[in-house]
Amino acid sequence: MAVLEIKKYPDSVLREKAKSVENVDGKLVKLAEDMLETMYAAPGIGLAAPQVGESLRIIVFDVGHSQGEPEPHVLINPVITASEGEEIAEEGCLSLPGIYTNVKRAAKVEVKGYDLDGNEVVMQAEGLMARVLQHEIDHLEGKLLIDRLSRVRQHMIKKKLKKALAER
């Protein structure tokens, strides 16, 4: 396994709509393993393939790791099939280092996708798990958390990101 480079805003791959995965092969399994290792090393609780430069519809996540109860998940071609309620909570993003802001999301979601064995997976999620799933699936659509904010808040964050880029 390897720790991959996490692409940072404004890298163009973060704005692309990711391609569907047609078949699971050794290369895809290795990518998923590397994505999990990269996520843990960052450290983070979710990561989408575009964040490591691969425009493919695959996400990894583990909301239990930070509580000492690791439960890694890999979802291929995930789709939100139902959502309910609304909640606002703080989010960060490995592709937007140092940025934490409140984001409105659905309180509960149902997500369908496939595991690395090609089996269909249906997940009912709420709370942090629902937030992570929505955040990572947004990445597959070329959306970032800043796209869910008001124009004023977007402007402030983009200004902060440009300043950070200039200081690198």
Which sequence positions are flagged as catalytic? 136
Q: Distance between CA 146 and CA 157 in Å, rounded?
A: 8
Buried b (16+ CB within 10 A) or exposed e, 38-75: bbbeeebbbbbbbbbebebbbbbbbbebeeeeeeebbb
Q: Distance between CA 105 and CA 13 in Å, rounded?
A: 23
Structure letter (DSSP) for residue 56? B
CA 123 to chain centre: 16
HSE, side-chain direction, 13 A CA sphere, residue 1? 12
CB 89 within 8 A of CB 102: yes
Give the closest residue to 46 by CA, choosing from 69, 71, 68.
Answer: 71
